Amino acid sequence: MAALTDFFPKLLVVAGLLLAALAAAPLAQRLRLPGPAAFLAVGIVAGLTGIAPTEDLSPVTLEQIGAVALYAILFQGGLATGFRAWRRSARPILLLGLPGTAATAGALALFAHFLLGLGWPLAFLIGIALAPTDPAAVYAVLRGQQGAPRARTILEGESGFNDPVGISLMVVAVAILSADNGSYSEGAVRLVKELGIGLAGGIAGGVLLIAALRATPHLEEGLQSVAILGGAVLVGAATATLHGSGFLAVYLSGLLVADRWAKQDGRHHAVPESISAAAEPVLFGLLGASFAPLVGPGDIGRGLALTVLTAFAIRPVLAAACLAGTRLQPAERVLVSWGGLKGAVPLLLAAYPALDSLKGAETAQAVVLVATAASIVVQGATLALVAGRVRAESG
């Protein structure tokens, strides 16, 4: 009985922090900052002041909450993009999402080791965590923006696709570092398995969701949306149970079902949009509150250095290579290059090493938090301006 009684004060604090984060979003927008900046700021303040009841959350519980929230965000991201639009820009999306993510992780690891003095295991963990762009942050900034549809599709498609790749890389890296006899060949096999099963699960899930839509054309829209979203979570959980990437499966199923659902009921669906929007402050606030007390002076310098390196060196080079041969205008290329926002997914990835109590796990969380906050503030505040420039040039 006492455990149940103690739950309600914690629920009161969590609900209050969630509402505070939502209330702070309009203020952030007035400052030309994306909504996730407000969510993360409230979480950081709550963590530093000890208000947030995160001390009772184990790393496993933190990842479980994050996984469910990310399922909702990725599925909505697939719905918002649609397979036809994704297919037209598949080449740069896949290049940025697969080799681009791996190359970013490697470059950041090299920099963290040789210039920041971190050991190789910690350098690779931080590099992998910061490699993916973040769907919640990208969608939040570009939501409602007009113009530059090709560049937006590439950014949205990349941010949805490279997150499962980054998560699979982190799972493999943690497995290698935590195993006594872990080998890189075994890690490569596991990575291929994760992505291969995730691909198969996403295609199968998309087919099943389309069949469900066809079978329920007259079902009330709210119930149908709940059923489809529940089916997407089922697809992700089933794929993960088979040791595949449930995140990739959820995103692909959203892509595949998007055009069929849009043809039947329109492009916008209130239930997945609302749940995805609610998942954003939960992810940013929870992870920000958990990691903020771990940040020290050295972590601030490392995080800022990695953000500058990524935004002004690594990302522009990779974007130029991956966009070669496309018909994008120069301003559109700048938009894709500058749109590599970090967010909740890097934070979620930074929590993985703690699952196996790897050495340096807290340092990884602290550095990634600083780098994420810097990316959201600097790149997030200016990305809308870049998008406006593209719209002006194309108009």
| Average pLDDT of span 188-197 | 89
More confident residue, 372 or 186: 372
DSSP code string of 355-378:
HTT-TTHHHHHHHHHHHHHHHHHH
pLDDT higher than threshold 80 for residue 391: no
Run of H or E residues at 335: helix 330-338
Task: Tell me what pLDDT residue 269 has.
Answer: 81
Q: Which two tokens stand for residue 290?
A: 């958990």
Q: What is the pLDDT of residue 145?
A: 59
Residue 330: is its pLDDT beyond 60? Answer: yes
Work out the mean pLDDT of the chain and round it to a whole number.
88
Ranges 18-32, 108-122, 370-384, most confident: 108-122
pLDDT class of 126 with cuts at 50, 70, 90? very high
The confidence score (pLDDT) of residue 148 equals 66
Q: What letter would DSSP give residue 294?
A: G
Q: 0.85 exceeded by the pTM? A: yes
List the one residue out of 237, 234, 246, 241 whose CA is nearest residue 208: 234
The residue with tokens 């009161």 is: 12
Reported as a pLDDT band with limits 50, 70 and 90, residue 2 is low
User: What's the pLDDT at 392?
Assistant: 61
How do residues 214-259 score in pLDDT, each as one tens digit?
888 878 888 889 999 999 999 999 999 999 999 999 999 999 999 9
Q: Which of 123-137, 147-161, 306-320 has the highest mean pLDDT?
A: 306-320
Q: What is the rounded CA–CA span in Å between residue 196 and residue 39?
A: 34
Burial of 183: CB neighbours in 10 Å, binned 0-12, 13-18, 19+? exposed
**pLDDT of amino acid 326:** 83
Q: Cα–chain-centroid distance for residue 145?
A: 20
Distance (Å, whole) CA 163 – CA 200: 17
The domains of the chain are located at: 59-394
Whether the pLDDT of residue 136 is over 80: the answer is: no
- For the stretch 342-372, pLDDT in tens is 988 999 999 999 988 899 999 999 999 999 9
Q: CA-CA distance, 302 to 19, in Å (whole number)? A: 32
| Percent share of the chain, pLDDT over 90 | 49
pLDDT band at 133 (very low <50, low <70, confident <90, very high): confident
Q: What is the pLDDT of residue 255?
A: 95
Contact of 287 with 62, CB cutoff 8 Å: yes
CATH topology of domain 59-394: Na+/H+ antiporter like fold (1.20.1530)
Within 10 Å of residue 310's Cβ, how many Cβ atoms?
Answer: 25
Angle at CA 237, nearest 5°, toward 235 and 238? 65
Give me 293's structure tokens: 């007390």
Query: What's the distance, CA 314 to chain centroid?
Result: 19
Rounded Cα distance between 293 and 56, Å, is 14
Task: State how far the Cα of 302 lies from the Cα of 349, in Å rounded to an integer.
Answer: 17
- pLDDT (tens digit, 9 = 90+) per residue, 319-328? 999 888 888 8
Radius of gyration of the chain (CA): 20
At residue 221, the pLDDT reads 80
Q: Check if the beta carbon of residue 370 is closer than 8 Å to that of residue 350.
A: no
Query: What is the Cβ-side half-sphere exposure of residue 44, based on CA atoms within 13 angstroms?
Result: 15
Q: Is 133 helix (H, G, I), strand (E, B) or coil?
A: coil
Q: Helix, strand or coil for residue 97?
A: helix
Task: Locate 280 and state its tokens.
Answer: 């954003």
Average pLDDT over residues 58-69: 91
Predicted local distance difference test score (pLDDT) of residue 361: 94
Does position 180 have pLDDT exceeding 70, yes or no?
no
Q: Is the pLDDT of residue 388 over 80?
A: no
